[in-house]
Amino acid sequence: MTLVLTDVVLTYPDGDHTLTALDHVSLAVAAGEFAAVVGPSGSGKSSLLAVAATLITPDAGTVVITGQDVSRAGRTARTNVRRDHIGIVFQQANLLPSLTTLDQLLVMAHLAGQSPRTASVRARELLLAVDLGGKEHKRPHQLSGGERQRVNIARALMNGPEVLLVDEPTSALDHHRGEQIISLLAELTRNNGLATVMVTHDLATLAMVDTVLTMSDGSLTEGAATQVV
């Protein structure tokens, strides 16, 4: 299994008390598996991704990424694991406004120490894979919402991650564009053997995933609950 969370507990301070965002959550995602997490707002879905992304250290439990236990790792080790093994796609594309499509990807490669020549070849391949050939020199404001989200996805794959974490990638898009993004994520997951976890509100797209998990009040269960939104 590429991504394994075991018995993860995460609490946030909440006035005099604590709020339990993740209540003994376990999850295992294999290479090439596309898993979707659904559930009501505030149920802990984004917290789950933040823990899997090594952005937040849980109070208890373990997070193992490509065989490496990162749950108690220090800041530098976590940053390295994130850079080398994890692709992250959040709701907002968060592209750098002044950079072209190609440069958004090359920045990632530069941070990871890839040679410019290798990076340039990979960036162009990825842009073709997300159907953005010909848009290499556009800046974010010259792209549609769906195109920006595709740049975001290509950027997340730039350093060849084994794990892809995606938080509500279609919330800023209309239904048709949203479906195209999910279908692209499914294809990339299979072609690159990624372990992908996607949080989504879009129940119509669940036919395209391998596994559906439901988050409810900090607990994760397999299958789609009937009442999810």
List residues binding ligand ADP (CB under 6 A). Answer: 12, 19, 21, 39, 41-47
Which residues lie closer than 8 Å to 119 by C-beta, 6 or more apart? 105, 106, 109, 110, 158
The only residue of 2, 43, 46, 66 in contact with Mg ion, by rule CB under 5 A: 46
Residue 47 interacting with Mg ion (CB under 5 A) = no
Cβ distance to ligand ADP smaller for residue 22 or 143: 22
**Strand 219-222 relative to strand 163-167, pairing:** unpaired
Select the span of 41-49, 72-80, 155-163, 183-191 touching Mg ion (CB under 5 A). 41-49
Can residue 170 be called a binding residue for Mg ion (CB under 5 A)?
no
CA distance 185 to 23: 28
Report the residue number, 47 or 104, with the smaller CB distance to ligand ADP: 47
In whole angstroms, give the CA distance from residue 194 to residue 11. Answer: 29
Q: Give whichever of 37 and 119 is closer to Mg ion, judged by the CB atom.
A: 37
Tell me which of Mg ion, ligand ADP, none is bound by residue 42, counting a contact when its beta carbon lies within the kind-specific cut-off of 5 to 8 angstroms.
Answer: ligand ADP
The tokens describing 208, both together, are 């395209």
Give per-residue burial for 44-66: e unless 16+ CB within 10 Å, then b: bbbbbbbbbbbebbbeebebbbb
Least separation, in Å, of the C-beta of 166 and Mg ion? 12
Q: By C-beta, is 45 or 78 nearer to ligand ADP?
A: 45
- Report yes or no: 140 and 97 within 8 Å, Cβ to Cβ: yes
Q: Is-contact 206 224, C-beta < 8 A? A: yes
19 binds, among ligand ADP, Mg ion, none (CB under 5 to 8 A by kind): ligand ADP
- Do 36 and 212 contact (CB within 8 A), yes or no? yes
- The tokens for 9 are 């507990």
What does the block give as tokens for 206? 């669940």
User: Is beta strand 3-14 parallel, antiparallel or unpaired with respect to 60-65?
Assistant: antiparallel
**Position 43 contacts Mg ion (CB under 5 A):** no
Q: Does 54 bind Mg ion (CB under 5 A)?
A: no
Rounded least distance, CB 78 to ligand ADP, Å: 17
Comparing CB distances to ligand ADP, the nearer of 44 and 161 is: 44
Q: In terms of CB distance, is 217 or 222 closer to ligand ADP?
A: 217
Is 101 near Mg ion (CB under 5 A)?
no
Q: How far is the CB of 160 from Mg ion (least distance, A)?
A: 27
Stretch that binds Mg ion, among 2-10, 40-48, 142-150, 219-227 (CB under 5 A): 40-48
Q: Can you tell me the distance from the alpha carbon of 200 to that of 108, in angstroms, rounded to the nearest whole number?
A: 26
- Positions in the binding site for Mg ion (CB under 5 A): 45-46
